[in-house]
Structure 1
Amino acid sequence: MAVAASRTRNPVLLVLILAVTGFVVSARRSDAPWAHSFTAFLKLGLLVIGVRVVLQALLSTRSQGNTVLFTLPQIPLPDWAAGVKLGGQVTAEALVTALYDGGQLAVMLCCVGAANALASPRRLLKSLPGALYEMGVACVVALTFAPQLVTDGRRVRAARRLRGRTRASFRTTAMPVLEGALDRSVELAAAMDSRGYGRTAQAPRAQRRITALCVLLGLLGILLGVYALLTDSMVFPLAAGALAVGVLLAVAAMAIGRQRVSRTRYRPDPWALPEWLVVAAGAVAAGAMVTAAVLGVNGLLLAGPLVVPPVPVLPVVGVLIGLAPALAAPPLKKAVA
């Protein structure tokens, strides 16, 4: 869904993506601590939109439109900043453009928040390829920090209400929240280390270096290919080639790396038809949007900020298929303490 949102600034499609994502989260969210992080990402998205609109109002120029809404006091700047202005006339075109740009980034953040709310970091880490075992501890801290931050924030606010302190204070709540979230993440990483996660078997030094090199080049190729496909900074054959080479190198590194990592398969997660349907729904939504962008379907990018947004059929159908995980996802499991 985040890939689909990155391909359009049409507010109709962005709102539809957000609605589909929110519906799936509300339908499949468990009672785990990380399941409440979607609301925090929604608030972060609103903050992004507000900051984007305010900055555009302060820095907008008449070249971005002629429909003047109001005029702010203009602050004179030195000669070396002649191309920048603070204040002055604010146009409707500039504000609407900023609203669409901020909305696109906000929807992408909400899609990331949905992944944090629905996916268990511990179960996700079990599927980490053996070639990436060195990153395991860092991944645990990174994946669990944001959900634990939200959980500790709710706990601190509840404790303050029990003490009769109804007014929120950033100074008295920020440090306990940050400290608690970081401590929980570090404790999980230490527990993994004590259980021998990522314990390596005997492997030649040359094999380890080849694996690390393949991982690095593969990740660079994947990042370059995905960035080029999403931003149209390269021609399609070159971007697709970079992505394909990166995937091949990453697969080769995983195949080599799994030979030197000892890992048990205790309680393996099943991968059956529901899991494939969930993956296919996300791939279809992203593929429909990318295909529409390649074919030049009208409606992904607006002709002007004040025009009525059209509703392209192909992207809408692709996004609506993203509702499938709400019904096809595996049954919910109780959170493990």
Structure 2
Amino acid sequence: MRSCGQSCRGDGARCQRSGTRQASASDPTPLPPKPRAPLHPGAWWLWALALGTAATRTTNPLLLALLIATSAYVVATCRQNTPWSRSYNAFVKLALAVILIRLTFAILLGSPIPGTHTLLALPEIPLPDWAQGIRIGGRVHAEGIVFALYDALRLATLLICVGAANALANPTRLLKCLPGALYEMGVAVVVALTFAPNLIADVQRLRAARRLRGRPDNGIRGLVQVGLPVLEGALERSVALAAAMDARGYGRTTDVPPAVRRTTTALTLGGLLGVCAGTYGVLTAEGGTYGLPVLLTGLTGALIGLRLGGRRATRTRYRPDPWDARAWLVTASGAAVAALLFTAAATNPTALEPGVIPLTAPTLPLWPAAAILLGLLPAAIVPTPKEPS
């Protein structure tokens, strides 16, 4: 601050000559705004799984493309600059590979859909009588290719939605939020997830060191000479991890009555079986009547079993992730998309599943498309993380 050459009072009064306000020791220093807590990772998974469930109710390529665009926009807007956030691109490549493989099988092995529009005729390999119904080569019809494309695009959309959850949710924080009954499994998953990256880093470090010393790092000899230090480092990390877990009381449990243990096991296993059967019923057209009740019953039983099983674990969470209003809104937006797509599939199935016999161009139904746009709500309520300065 420029000085006017005169002595001024240090009480924050204005300078008599320059008219500027002098800094005062009593003026409070403005504190930087407190950053908001990140969104609960479970909310991202529930949102993404709801979008994937909505994708299973339609084969309309326009609606599936809209679901992909919705997940891509939310990922581009809300993901952080972290290693796991780059997994979305890998899931997109996997989805493209699924589409390519499905179309290749439809061309080479044929399709169960009969057709009248022949695209090309491949040489057909004759098969024995016991392989009736299977062919290799032959005529390739447009109807079969379109049917395979619709089916592959639905699976690709489901994979991309799962990739969005992986890119948005912190896996370490997600495992930390597991209930007490799954504490041991969560720790095992954390150890397994951290083993591969450490192993790759050790291999790269040792190969770079060998190249700097002028020693070979390829071939059988290089592999053996690099592999032994890598295994030695992995053993040392395992021993250090076991010592750290033992020092922190890992595996310590409390005694519960035998009746509670048996009830917990029955509820958990029965609930998981009900979830599997209910999910199959929801995803198939034949089980539309019993799928949802069985799924809800199994989910309730599994949650009660996990709640009872959590009594054995005596541990506390450091800085637990809050489930706030934003988490409820994100979860509700995905659930609304899934519920509205289920309703549309029941009321207007022809719009969500365009026919291939005869071939017809798919149309975009308005209100199912508007329902999918509800999935964009996380981009508006979850702030974009800013880079640290």
Q: If the length of structure 2 is used for normalisation, what is the TM-score?
A: 0.71
Compared with structure 1, are the counterparts of its residues 332 and 144 closer, same or farther at alpha carbon in structure 2 (3 Å cutoff)? farther
Distance of 1:277 and 1:285 partners within structure 2:
12
Alignment RMSD (CA, Å):
3.5
Distance of 2:113 and 2:348 partners within structure 1:
27
Unaligned runs of 5+ in 2: 1-50, 212-221
What letter is aligned with 1:307?
T
> Within 5 Å, which residues of 2 pair with 1:62-211?
64-140=114-190, 193-194=245-246, 195-196=248-249, 199-211=252-264
1:34 equivalent in alignment to 2:87: no
1:272 equivalent in alignment to 2:337: no
Compared with structure 1, are the counterparts of its residues 252 and 3 closer, same or farther at alpha carbon in structure 2 (3 Å cutoff)? same
Distance of 2:191 and 2:58 partners within structure 1:
32
SS of the residue 2:352 aligns to: coil
Structure 1 residue 230 displacement after superposition: 1.8
Structure 1 residue 95 displacement after superposition: 1.0
Which structure has the larger Rg over C-alpha atoms? 2
Contact 1:4 1:289 (8 Å CA) reproduced: yes
Compared with structure 1, are the counterparts of its residues 196 and 96 closer, same or farther at alpha carbon in structure 2 (3 Å cutoff)? farther
Equivalent position of 2:295 in the other structure: 243
Q: Which has the higher helix share?
A: 1
What letter is aligned with 1:287?
A
Distance of 1:312 and 1:276 partners within structure 2:
28
Unaligned runs of 5+ in 1: 164-171
Paired residue total: 314
How many percent identity over aligned positions? 46
Structure 1 residue 220 displacement after superposition: 1.1
Structure 1 residue 286 displacement after superposition: 1.1
Distance of 2:54 and 2:171 partners within structure 1:
24
Q: If the length of structure 1 is used for normalisation, what is the TM-score?
A: 0.81
Contact 1:65 1:92 (8 Å CA) reproduced: yes
1:2 equivalent in alignment to 2:2: no
Q: Which moved more, 1:207-216 or 1:49-58?
A: 207-216
Equivalent position of 1:323 in the other structure: 376
Contact 1:58 1:87 (8 Å CA) reproduced: yes
Contact 1:64 1:94 (8 Å CA) reproduced: yes
1:257 equivalent in alignment to 2:314: no
Among residues 333, 340, 354, which one is paired with 1:302 in the alignment?
354
> Within 5 Å, which residues of 2 pair with 1:204-223?
204-223=257-276
Distance of 2:53 and 2:346 partners within structure 1:
14
Deviations 1:142-177 (A, max 9, x none): 77789x69xx69x97xx99xx9xxxxxxxx9xxx9x
Q: Which moved more, 1:102-111 or 1:221-230?
A: 221-230
Structure 1 residue 244 displacement after superposition: 2.4
Distance of 2:243 and 2:342 partners within structure 1:
42
